[in-house]
Chain A
């Protein structure tokens, strides 16, 4: 009798768990602006779907490592990452094709966000441009080469090669030097020559706000997503528009292979790409929109990577180039700059 009772309890418990599990979507996202995401995206989605959203946070590389470790029993249903990490995930067979016919908002996306890696495994949800934030009372920046000029010696921070901004900055520096070879040999060697003039090779852009505030640095290349912190400072700081143009990157959503909540994940993806949500995220200066129907005021647009022209003029590095060269870049960097 006792055994029977225990068995029925276990059965009821497992049924409840299964039911609860069916209504639970696990997503893995970047750790920044989570309060805003909760208000604008997570809560409204939970109310709409009547489901529970479990949010894991971390950086793109950590997410990729976790997905690989849990390959046989995926924990996360939907993940966001850089477009190059999405390609790495696809090559490791960690993601599935996205059935875009189930995404009502898919057609509203800028063309380059629709299938950034050309493999049907990712959809872009935000862009960012990469340029230089600088103290306009100290220097004037018109070219990427100004980063290594005498006027900024000892007052400039550059991204480390290991960050997502690192290769983009080197690529633009190479372009300014008249060498846009994907090996990045020339710009890495040039940075190596000037390494004593660089205050630090940063790994987190959040660190730069303090360095700028303390007048440790007068200029640093950053992604537009980090601009909010600078724009609020009580210092004359400008966003440079170098003559060689701006670089940038794209963050994408992917579906984990073997995930059991595919429909719910697609619903969430569609919700995130909707004009309403993308507008709210843009107005909150959280993410620049990938949905071309989003309309924002000039003030907001000035702080985002916004508009068809801006998006079309970004010098992006293709994901395969990024992944295939990553190890060689790191080796070059360690040899010329790291020591």
Chain B
């Protein structure tokens, strides 16, 4: 396409310089903080970080909530996406638009809405008491449940959109063919739909997992300091203790977790396909 390499490089250069200067270099400087000591380089900061039981608890809580949100969004996402792709063209566009709509609203506004909905006098509690599922309002706010609900609502659209696009690329007669050949719905899902849509699941899963793990606003508002996650812990370390070393350690942990999640999801999808 290009007449010579120089032309291609010249075109890429501005973007590369920009990304290098404002992203890569600052990230490298931040990450190096975690390894730098007065005497040279060391991984002591990482050993120190994981030796504190609070940090361990926060690490596992972050991992657990991100994994739960990803799994729940995959289950709900498949059902929703499957229903949407089977709608007539006009309806499909409208419903997809509705799925995308929350993404256009600020996460702060969306999360604040949950503060009202999940409150003691909120809609959820009023409904639970009205139908007799609970005698008195339940405390949802500032619990892991609230953070889970907030994160799920925040990132579910990303999973649905990824799965809609994957399902649309699937041959239309694959499911009817499997049904005709006697497969039940579970078999249709595990042996036909899942292998054929694995790319969408990997993309959606990575977006949801990474998003849930690195979200700050939702855990801060709905979890507060009682449900600390890595992001809120990082904020606390920097603003309260001026501790940039811990912040750097947490930043690297988050990056490694995001990449690992992507690799793991790819592996899982490929392994399923090989069967």
Contact = CB atoms under 8 A, between A and B. Distances in A.
Interface of A: 61-62, 65, 154, 160, 162, 195, 198-203, 210-211, 214-216, 327, 330, 334-335, 338-339
A269 to B, nearest CB: 27
Interface in B89-145: 115-116, 119-122, 139, 141-142
A65 B241 contact: no
A214 B121 contact: yes
B224 A338 contact: no
Contact of B239 (A62, A202, A335): A62
16 contacts: A61-B242, A62-B239, A154-B139, A162-B225, A162-B236, A195-B226, A199-B141, A199-B142, A200-B141, A200-B225, A203-B224, A214-B116, A214-B122, A216-B139, A334-B54, A339-B53
B234 interface: no
A205 to B, nearest CB: 13
**What 10 A-B pairs come out closest when comparing CB atoms?**
A214-B119, A200-B224, A200-B142, A162-B240, A201-B225, A334-B54, A160-B225, A338-B54, A339-B57, A215-B121
B118 to A, nearest CB: 10
- Interface SS of B by simple majority: helix
B158 interface: no
A210 B115 contact: yes
Contacts of B53: 335, 339
A199 B139 CA distance: 8
B201 to A, nearest CB: 34
Contacts of B225: 160, 162, 200-203, 338
Contacts of A327: 241
A61 B240 contact: yes
Given A162-B236, A214-B116, A330-B240, A202 B54 contact: no
Contacts of B119: 214-216
Instruction: Determine the interface band of chain B, counting residues with CB < 8 A from chain A.
Output: 20 to 34
A202 B115 contact: no
Contacts, number: 56
Contacts of B224: 200-203
Contacts of A334: 52, 54
A199 B241 CA distance: 24
Contacts of B122: 214
A338 B121 CA distance: 27
B228 interface: yes
B74 to A, nearest CB: 30
Contacts of A200: 141-142, 224-226
Given A162-B239, A199-B142, A334-B54, 17 more contacts: A65-B242, A154-B139, A162-B240, A195-B226, A198-B226, A200-B142, A200-B224, A200-B226, A214-B115, A214-B119, A214-B121, A214-B122, A215-B121, A216-B120, A334-B52, A338-B225, A339-B57
Contacts of B236: 162
B239 A61 contact: yes
A290 B56 CA distance: 46
Contacts of A203: 224-225
A63 B201 CA distance: 45
Nearest to B52: A334
A91 to B, nearest CB: 14
Contacts of A214: 115-116, 119-122
Interface in B8-59: 52-54, 57
B116 A335 contact: no
The winner among A154, A160, A195, A338 for most chain B CB atoms within 10 A is A338
Contacts of A154: 139
A241 B116 CA distance: 31
Nearest to B238: A65
A203 B220 CA distance: 10
A216 B143 CA distance: 13
A61 B224 CA distance: 20
A327 B241 CA distance: 8
B220 to A, nearest CB: 8
A215 B122 CA distance: 10
